[in-house]
Amino acid sequence: DAGVIQSPRHEVTEMGQEVTLRCKPISGHDYLFWYRQTMMRGLELLIYFNNNVPIDDSGMPEDRFSAKMPNASFSTLKIQPSEPRDSAVYFCASSPLSVFSEAFFGQGTRLTVV
């Protein structure tokens, strides 16, 4: 398996524009997580899905952020409109249904909003 795949790896956009980040989890995994990493706040859980259903979105910073998982092999995180404070590295991770299993992370998308 190729692991968790995120695209794009880097995104530079202007303030006010819509940004869409994409994630393909590992096949067969039941859980998908979106994290945001910044120097100031560290690694923050934004939202996670179980079998394509959003379970906890309490970490989503505000209504400008939305996430979807239309099927088991694809998820998106959308920011509309984007702001400079959204600049961060966004990670997607997936895990199987096992209390003993780790989360498998993608390489991340570095977002810069200018």
Residues at the contact surface with other proteins, assessed by CB under 8 A: 4, 30-31, 33, 42-43, 45, 48, 50, 55, 91, 93, 95-108
Q: Residue 6 or residue 82: which is nearer to other proteins going by CB?
A: 6
Residues forming a β-bridge with 3: none
Q: Residue 82 or residue 95: which is nearer to other proteins going by CB?
A: 95
User: At its nearest, how many Å lie between other proteins and the CB of residue 23?
Assistant: 12
Q: How far apart are the first and last CA of the chain?
A: 36
User: At its nearest, how many Å lie between other proteins and the CB of residue 78?
Assistant: 21
User: At its nearest, how many Å lie between other proteins and the CB of residue 26?
Assistant: 13
Q: Residue 15 or residue 55: which is nearer to other proteins going by CB?
A: 55
Residues forming a β-bridge with 79: 19, 65
C-alpha distances in Å from residue 113, one per residue of 31, 89, 94, 97, 106: 29, 12, 26, 36, 21
CB 101: neighbour CB atoms within 10 A? 12
